[in-house]
A = this chain, B = another copy of it.
Amino acid sequence: MTAVTAAQRSVPAPFLSKTYQLVDDHSTDDVVSWNEEGTAFVVWKTAEFAKDLLPQYFKHNNFSSFIRQLNTYVSFTLTKTHLLSI
């Protein structure tokens, strides 16, 4: 038996599944939600997102730490468009 890493399994990394759950929760759509097309997600209220939602899923409340992980996993570009509606 050889060890199997998360990357080798077809299971998404914890960061990705947590982020999905976080975004997909409709009760917090005023803070973060999918865009109209469902192709991306939008953080509408960064302060609330960081302070209230991040600690529910992660061991921190820093927006920048979340972005660091996002960059690691999905080379996601958080453009101004995504944040303009805050």
Contact = CB atoms under 8 A, between A and B. Distances in A.
A9 interface: no
Contacts of A59: 59-60
A contact face: mostly helix, strand, loop, or mixed: loop
A33 B16 CA distance: 41
A60 B60 CA distance: 11
Interface string A50-79: 000000000110000000000000000000
A5 to B, nearest CB: 19
A44 to B, nearest CB: 27
Contacts of A60: 59
Interface string A22-66: 000000000000000000000000000000000000011000000
Nearest to A58: B59
2 contacts: A59-B59, A59-B60
